[in-house]
Amino acid sequence: AQSVTQLGSHVSVSEGALVLLRCNYSSSVPPYLFWYVQYPNQGLQLLLKYTSAATLVKGINGFEAEFKKSETSFHLTKPSAHMSDAAEYFCAVSLAFSGGYNKLIFGAGTRLAVHP
Amino acid sequence: DAGVTQSPTHLIKTRGQHVTLRCSPISGHKSVSWYQQVLGQGPQFIFQYYEKEERGRGNFPDRFSARQFPNYSSELNVNALLLGDSALYLCASSLAGLDNGQGAFEQFFGPGTRLTVL
């Protein structure tokens, strides 16, 4: 069964430092993977998605993620953290079933704190 | 263009009551999904509707039900509320319903409805 594991429920970085948020997935079929960001008291905003076109995916706000099949990973990175990046980040895999519907399976989330 | 809208923003109910949450998808989107996000956890899939029919259901009790209207808006109903139903309820819309088996289409999320059960 498909599942997503996010390593580290809390990550703290200094402003300007590298951001690395880890995500590992398990999937019996080629996965479609997503990173979403959630700011306090808001819904989810898509940062980027992997749909098998390219293993290195660039998203909004300077974020990117690399799909590594051999490691079953889809880690999210940003070269230089900004204070506005402080939020909760969710990795998700899209699972399609027969009958034509699909759902997103989310990890537990990683809260990113950015300090001056 | 307007994104996914949900109402109400916040709601406080007591145990045993019933609640109805509403969602309007992005114009042109025919599929709506509902997710429950308990504090400190990732969202959990509840339902997906497409063309007014339920296409999928997550592991939630029968107290949870939903429907989709001809204009593709949707309602989520929860009966006999429990304290554990307190959560952020998220609605997501997408263009497609019937999938080619790839599951690659994007879901756009609304701001959510914060339900508190006392």
Interface test with B, best of A46, A49, A104 (most B CBs within 10 A): A104
**Distance (Å) from the alpha carbon of B97 to chain A's nearest alpha carbon:** 6
Q: What is the pLDDT of residues B29-76, one digit of tens each?
A: 889 999 999 998 999 999 999 888 888 899 999 999 999 999 999 999
Q: What pLDDT, in 10s, does the model give residues A76-112?
A: 999 999 999 999 999 999 877 666 677 899 999 999 9
Cα–Cα nearest to B95, from B24, B25, B7, B5: B25
pLDDT score for B20:
98
Q: How far is A42 from chain B (nearest CA, A)?
A: 5
How far, in Å, CA of A109 to CA of B22, rounded? 26
Strand, coil or helix: A83: helix
The values of phi and psi at residue A69, to 5°, are -65, -40
The reply to whether B106 touches chain A by the CB within 8 Å rule is yes
In A, which residues are within 8 Å of B39 by CB distance?
none
CA distance A52 to chain B (A): 9
User: How big is the A-B interface in CB pairs under 8 Å?
Assistant: 78
Closest Cα in chain B, distance from residue A51 (Å): 6
Q: How confident is the model at residue B106 (pLDDT cuts 50, 70, 90)?
A: confident
Regarding beta strands B64-68 and B53-57, do their DSSP bridges make them parallel or antiparallel, or are they unpaired?
A: unpaired
> How long, in residues, is chain B?
118
Which whole number is the average pLDDT over A41-62?
89
Residues of A with CB under 8 A from a CB of B: 4, 32, 34, 36, 41-46, 49, 51-52, 90, 92, 94-97, 99-109
